[in-house]
Amino acid sequence: MNPVENSKIVILVPPETKNNGAFTTNNYVDVSGFSDALFLFAMGTTDVIVGSTDTSTPPLIEECDTTDGSYTAVTDAELSAVIGAGDDDKLFGIFVDLRKTHKKYMRVQAPTAGDSTSAAMCILCILSSPAKTPETDAAAGFEERIFA
């Protein structure tokens, strides 16, 4: 199998639009068994600032040993600035080297939109270089996947 076929994709924030406050969904991802993670922010029409927790903090990744414990920031896993109101249809990515010591669960710290029209966004985590290849579509994060 090629590297793309060995990856797992997890939806952290499904495509949604938000105005003024935290996005409704903010899932975590179990990163165990993988060596690399890409947190991908896919922006749609965006007329507000998007940050973590508030609109002055750049989006960042945090980690925890349990799904519902106290999450802490992953060192250097932060965008250089907030996502701007004019960043329509752009992609932003945060790569995390999981070969370093990391906790089992990761998520984006409280993705939050400012107060104006709205921000449309989806956040995915793409896990790659697994210790064991995901053997089913569901294990790879898909309802269905086709190899052509």
Q: What is the pLDDT of residue 46?
A: 94
Domain of 118, in residue numbers: 8-132
| DSSP string for residues in 6-40 | T-EEEEEEEEEEE-SEE-S----EE-TTEEEEEEE
Q: What is the pLDDT of residue 1?
A: 55
Residue type, 135: E
Q: What is the pLDDT of residue 10?
A: 97
Residue 60 maps to a domain = yes
Residue 143 maps to a domain = no
Residue 125 maps to a domain = yes
Q: Are 92 and 79 in contact (CB under 8 A)?
A: yes
Q: Are 66 and 105 in contact (CB under 8 A)?
A: yes
| pLDDT less than 50: residues of the chain | none
Residue 140 maps to a domain = no
Residue 88 maps to a domain = yes
Residue 139 maps to a domain = no
Count how many domains the chain has.
1
Q: In 10 A of CB 40, how many CB atoms?
A: 16
Q: What is the pTM of this model?
A: 0.93
Residue 3 maps to a domain = no
CATH number for the domain spanning 61: value is 2.60.120
Residue 13 maps to a domain = yes
**Measured in whole angstroms, how far is the alpha carbon of residue 140 from the centre of its chain?**
16
